[in-house]
Amino acid sequence: MAREKKPVHKVRMTDGKRNIIQQLLQEYDIQSAEDIQDALKDLLGSTIKEMMEAEMDKHLGYEKSERSDTDDYRNGYKPKRINSSYGSMDIQVPQDRKSTFEPQVVKKRQKDISDIDQKIISMYAKGMTTRQISDTLEDIYGFEAAEGFISDVTDKIMPQIEDWQNRPLSEVYPVLYIDAIHYSVRDNGVIRKLAAYVVPGINPDGRKEVLTIEVGENESSKYWLSVLNGLKNRGVKDILILCADGLSGIKEAIAAAYPKTEYQRCIVHQVRNTMKYVSDKDRKPFCADLKTIYQAPTEEKALDALERVTEKWSEKYPNSMRSWKQNWDAISPIFKFSTAVRRVIYTTNAIESLNATYRKLNRQRSVFPSDTALLKALYLSTFEATKKWTMPIRNWGQVYGELSIMYEGRLPE
């Protein structure tokens, strides 16, 4: 994976900035970059102190220089050491006689104020670009954050991504999905399309999880075999049903890596691919006819429906139904399952919700600066989107029972 090139920050000078810089130079006798860091650290500490003094004024109801008849008053300062983006520093926290003052800028028992990193990562996870994050920080917090700095912050999650990509997995997955979303990525000044292959699954407890995300360029049986072997190396011994679109070489790779696994052509993608041939005015009746195929109670009735639909629409859309006949061996396994199991296989609401999150990245970023930037965005978006994946899918007990009978001995009891 190519290392992301950090963008060069262009300083935008204003009269206000010049005045501040001149005052800093005079006040701190700045001679080096280290002196700048020390000056900013001192300014941060002084700013925190002034903000806490203002908070104390509000708490007591009068300013430091004023007199008051209240029975609560200032009672000196308490030293406190905190960690910031500029390192450790000692600050003086104002105290009141009744010990009821609760500072907000640095709260009680708070030792670290460098959480700006988490704010940056959270914005990155929501699909914002480094430029958008920089502008947002300036609008909200009133300071500039160079795009290179933001990239440095988000780079800190790379070891976390690596750990996540190598974490142990369940031994068996009743259902696994593979889906692809394409992104534009800049590589040495050339923009090229890369596919992000997302592999979500349902574990034996009925909970959804994303096993891995692979960023690749060319599909082949060799490529998919390496992906499946990667899952094997992380502990996946068996997959009952693997649901995917017509990815090049996937069928051969499944046969090699998991010979007992049932390959199911994704019905959602199959329908979408068919509808590409259909004009808007015919979409509704055509979709209704397709349902008679994939919702048929048996394979025999599904084949009858396939013939009827093909005969009805072949004159107007001669190529629309060709892939159904060509891929029937990968479409047909679904007909041996009950409605409850079929719903798990082809009604992938959670997967569609996840894909909506990934598509949002495409809308917000027309081009990613590198494949590393794409992987970071995908990982953070995945983490954000799957936070709510805490409950088993609906009717999992019924589904698990049926799969246990059909695939005897392959699911844990």
| pTM assigned to the model | 0.68
Query: In this structure, are residues 279 and 260 in contact, taking their beta carbons and an 8 Å threshold?
Result: no
Query: In this structure, are residues 143 and 86 in contact, taking their beta carbons and an 8 Å threshold?
Result: no
Q: Tell me the pLDDT tens digit for each residue of 366-391.
A: 788 888 888 888 888 888 788 888 88
Q: How confident is the model at residue 37 (pLDDT cuts 50, 70, 90)?
A: confident
pLDDT at 258 over 50: yes
- Mean pLDDT of all residues in 33-39: 76
- Mean pLDDT of all residues in 103-128: 73
Interatomic CA distance for residues 60 and 271, integer angstroms: 68
- Mean pLDDT of all residues in 85-104: 82
Average pLDDT taken over every residue of the chain? 84
Q: Tell me the pLDDT tens digit for each residue of 281-324.
A: 999 999 999 999 999 999 999 999 999 999 999 899 988 899 99
- Mean pLDDT of all residues in 117-146: 70
pLDDT at 83 over 70: no
More confident residue, 149 or 91: 91
The pLDDT value given to residue 296: 95
3-state helix, strand, coil in the chain (%, to 5): 50, 15, 35
**The dihedral formed by the CA atoms of 368, 370, 373 and 375, expressed in degrees to the nearest 10:** 100
The pLDDT value given to residue 3: 44
- Mean pLDDT of all residues in 15-42: 76
Interatomic CA distance for residues 320 and 275, integer angstroms: 7
